[in-house]
Chains A and B, each alone.
Chain A
Amino acid sequence: MLHVGDEELVFERARRCPRATELVASPVELHQRNVQRRLREANLSKDAFSFVAPVGISKKLLESAGRPTATIDRIDRLSLLHAILEDPPSRASSELALPPRLSSRDPQQIEQIRTEVETVTNFHPERIAAWRDTADDLYDPIDAESSELLNAALFVEQGLRDRITKAVSETELVRRATRMIVATDGVGWTEAYPHIDRLTLLGLSSLSAPHTDLVHAVLSTTPVEVHIHFRSETGTYLKQRFDDLLTRSKPGTEVFE
C-alpha cells in the first residue's frame, strides 16, 4: 500500500500486545524519535512496533540465515578507490573516461558517481540496460557522458569487490538480503521475523532502487503487508512511479554475477 503522508494510520494501530507485529523503518534516524514522541504524548503503546533502520532489517535477515554482514565503511572505500585510481594507471584511465567537468583522480567524486548509479539502478541488469537505452536517446554529448558515468561506477564497484572480502557498503547488505529472501522463497524472512505481519516505511522523499528491490522481494514471496508513506510534496509523483520501478526478473540480481 502506498500513501502520501497519512502517518496517523500508524498511530491507529498502536495497542498493548505481548510482542511487536509491525516493523517501522525510516531512513532518517530522528524521524523514529518524532514518531515515538507522538505516541508517548498521545499515551499510546509502542508494543506493536519494532523501530529499525532499513539497513538493520537486512542485517538481521542475513544474520538469521547465518550469512556474513561485515562491511567496509566510506573511509575504507575512499582509501581503496585511491589505490584503484592509481593502479594500474593505464587500465584505470581508459575505463574512467569522464565528462570534462569531473576529475577521474578524485576518490570522493568517483565514490559519488558509484553511489548515484547504485541508488538509481541497484546494479540490476535490467536497470543497467535501461540506463544505456536512456543515455542513447539523449543528444550529443550528454549521451556519451551518461554512459561514461555508468561505466566508471561499474568499473570501480568491480575494483572494490576484487580487493576485499567484506561487503562494499551497507547497501550491498540490502541486496544480499533481497536475494536471500527470493532464493528461500520467503522462508528466510519468516525465520528472521516470525511474528511480523506488516512492514512500514515512513517519511520517504525518494525511493532508491535498493529499497524498491527489497520491498519487491518481500511482497512477492511473503504474506507480509507493506505500507510505504511518502512525504507530502514528492509523494503523489513517487506513488505513481512505483509500479514501473519493479524489475521483471529477480530483485536483488546484480550485473556482476
Chain B
Amino acid sequence: MTASNRHKLSQPIDPPEVPTVEIVSPTRRDEVRAAMAVVASLRDHGVPIRDIVVVVRDLDAYEEPLFRAAIQYELTPVFWTQLRVTRTRPYALIEAVCDVLDEERVDVETLLRPLELCWSLRSTPGRDEQSVSTTCQWPIDPATVSRVMERLPDGTRTIPEWVDVIKSTGDADGRFQRFVEWIDDAPMPEPESVSTLLGDVIEGYAEHGLPETKAGDSPALLETETDARAVVRVRTLVRQLRHKFADRLEEGTVDQSWGDVANLASVIATQRPGRREHSNARALDVLEANDVWALDVPYVVVLGLTADQWPRPPESVLPPEFQEAVLQGDGQSGLLAPQPAWIGGRDRDQFTDALRAAGQCAVVTRYTQTREGNEVQPSPLLGYINTERVGETDRERLISADRRLPPEIRGFVTAETEDCDE
C-alpha cells in the first residue's frame, strides 16, 4: 500500500457533466427564498414537480425556513426525514396526560391541558349510539375549554377535589366531568396499564382529534399528514414503552410513576432510528444530501454550500493520528477498515452525488452572513467546480413579486421547451 492511494481521498473532484449555476444570498432566509423561487419559476415554465429535487446538507437547520418559503410560493414540500414526533400534537397529548397523572395536586392549566390538545373519550364498541348526544361530542372545542378554564378557581387541588369542583361549576358540561373522572380512575402505572391507558388516549385522538385537524387544514392537508404520521408513530411508541417500562422496573432504574413513564417516552421518541417517512407524489421532494445517491432528475437545487455545513467536522472519537495510520494502511494496519468519513470523504461523495443527480442543470446556493451579521465562508468544495454565478440584480428579481428566472437558468428551460416543440 502506498501513500498515493490515500491521496485519492483528497484530490480534485471531477466536475459534473451538466452546468452548475450558483446563487449567493445575504442571509439563510434569502437563500431559502431564492431556492423556492427557482422551483416556483421552473413550474411557471411548465417543468413538472417530479423533475425537480431540493437537496440540503442537514434538514435540522433548513426544514422550518424551507417549509415557510414553500408555502409562500404555494409549493407542497415533502421532507424525507425523520418526523420529529416530540413536536407533534399527539405526542404532546401523551405528555400532558402523564403530567396530570404524575402530580398529587395540579392547577387548572395542567388539569385541562389534555383537553386543549383534543383529548377525546375513545368510543367503546356497542356503547356508541347511546353516548352520542350534544354533550358528548369530542373533542371539546377550544373556546369552551378556555371559557371553563377561566371560570375554575386558581390554586392546586387533588384530582378528587377537582371532580367535586367541576361538578358544581355550571359552565362545565358533562364532558369535563367525564374527563376528570377518567383521570381519577387511572390506575398506577404498570407496563400493562401504561399501554392500555395511553393506547386509549392515542386511539381517542385518532377517532376525534385527527378529523378536527383535517377540517381546519389548508387544501394541501400538510398538518393532517403530519398529524396522521404522528399518530402512527405514537402508537408504536406506546407499544415500545410497555416493554421498556417493564425492563426498567425490573432493573429498578425507574420508579412506578407517570413522571418516569413520560421521561422514558421522551427517550424513546428522541432516538433517530433509520426509518424515513413516506409521502405523496405531487409534492416537491426535499432530501438530505446523503439520500440523493442514484437519483436522476432534470433539476436539482442544492442548498447550504457554506464552509461550516459542508464539509461537517467528523464525529469520530479516535485520535486523528491513529485515523491517518489506518487510512494509509501500511503493514498490519491494512487489516483495519478505514473510514473515509474521518477526512471528509463522505462529504465529497454527497456533494458529487447531489450534482450528478441533475440531468439538465444543478443550482447551488449559499449565504454570506449569519443573523448576527458575521461573515459565512463558502464551502471549499465549490472550489472544485466551475459555476455560473447569478448577478445581484437577477437574484433580486427572482425573489421579487414579479419573479423571473435568472438568464443562467432560463436558457435550459427555453431549450427544453423548444426541444419539445420540434
Contact = CB atoms under 8 A, between A and B. Distances in A.
B275 to A, nearest CB: 7
A134 B319 CA distance: 12
A99 B340 contact: no
B294 A202 contact: yes
B335 A244 contact: yes
A80 to B, nearest CB: 9
Contacts of B295: 34, 37-38
A126 B325 CA distance: 17
Size class of the A contact interface (CB-based, 8 Å):
35 or more
Interface in A1-55: 7, 28-31, 34-35, 37-38, 41, 53
Interface stretch (B144-152, B326-334, B411-419): B326-334
Interface stretch (A113-121, A180-188, A192-200): A113-121
Contact of A131 (B296, B336, B348): B336
Interface string B296-338: 1000000000000000000111110110011001011111111
A202 B294 CA distance: 9
A145 B353 CA distance: 36
A112 B317 CA distance: 7
Contact of A34 (B247, B294, B333): B294
Given A109-B317, A234-B348, A30 B276 contact: yes
A66 to B, nearest CB: 24
B349 A232 contact: yes
Interface stretch (B6-14, B22-30, B70-78, B392-400): B6-14
Contact of A30 (B6, B287, B316, B341): B287
Contacts of B317: 102, 109, 112-113, 116, 149
Contact of B326 (A31, A134, A142): A134
B271 to A, nearest CB: 6
Among A74, A109, A138, A232, residue most surrounded by chain B Cβ atoms (within 10 Å): A232
Contact of B335 (A119, A130, A149, A236): A130
A93 interface: no
- Indicate the member of B5, B329, B333 with the most A CB atoms within 10 Å: B333
B336 A134 contact: yes
Nearest to A31: B293
A142 B321 contact: yes
Contacts of B316: 116
Contacts of A208: 337
A231 B332 contact: no
A120 B268 contact: no
Given A30-B80, A146-B318, A232-B349, A209 B337 contact: yes
Contact of A119 (B290, B333, B337): B337
Contacts of A121: 336-337
Interface in B269-293: 271, 274-276, 287, 290-293
Contact of B334 (A35, A74, A207, A244): A244
A134 B318 contact: no
A158 interface: no
Contact of B319 (A31, A37, A127, A145): A145
A34 B276 CA distance: 13
Contact of B293 (A28, A82, A149, A236): A28
Interface in A83-137: 83, 99, 102, 109, 112-113, 116, 119-122, 126-127, 129-131, 133-135, 137
Nearest to B341: A206
Given A29-B275, A37-B295, A234 B346 contact: yes
B368 interface: no
A2 B248 CA distance: 46
A231 B349 contact: yes
A155 to B, nearest CB: 15
A203 interface: yes
A161 interface: no
B282 to A, nearest CB: 15
Interface string B171-196: 00000000000000000000000000
A21 B360 CA distance: 34
Contacts of A234: 9, 340, 345-346, 348-349
B8 A236 contact: yes
B267 A120 contact: no
A240 interface: yes
Contact of B5 (A75, A134, A241): A241
A209 B338 CA distance: 9
A225 interface: no
B124 interface: no
B339 interface: yes
B401 interface: no
Interface string B75-109: 00000100000000000000000000000000000
A76 B247 contact: yes
A138 B333 contact: no
B130 interface: no
Contacts of B321: 138-139, 142
B143 interface: no
Contacts of B340: 205-206, 234, 237-238
B366 interface: no
A206 B318 contact: no
Given A127-B335, A134-B336, 13 more contacts: A29-B275, A113-B317, A116-B318, A119-B339, A134-B332, A138-B325, A202-B294, A205-B346, A206-B346, A233-B9, A237-B6, A237-B9, A245-B335
26 contacts: A28-B290, A31-B291, A37-B295, A75-B268, A82-B253, A83-B251, A126-B335, A127-B335, A127-B336, A127-B337, A130-B335, A130-B336, A134-B326, A137-B325, A138-B322, A142-B319, A146-B322, A205-B345, A206-B338, A206-B345, A206-B346, A232-B352, A233-B345, A233-B348, A233-B349, A244-B335
Interface of A: 7, 28-31, 34-35, 37-38, 41, 53, 73-76, 79, 82-83, 99, 102, 109, 112-113, 116, 119-122, 126-127, 129-131, 133-135, 137-139, 142, 145-146, 149, 202-203, 205-209, 212, 231-234, 236-238, 240-241, 244-245, 247
Leading 4 A-B pairs by shortest Cβ distance: A244-B334, A233-B348, A30-B291, A134-B333
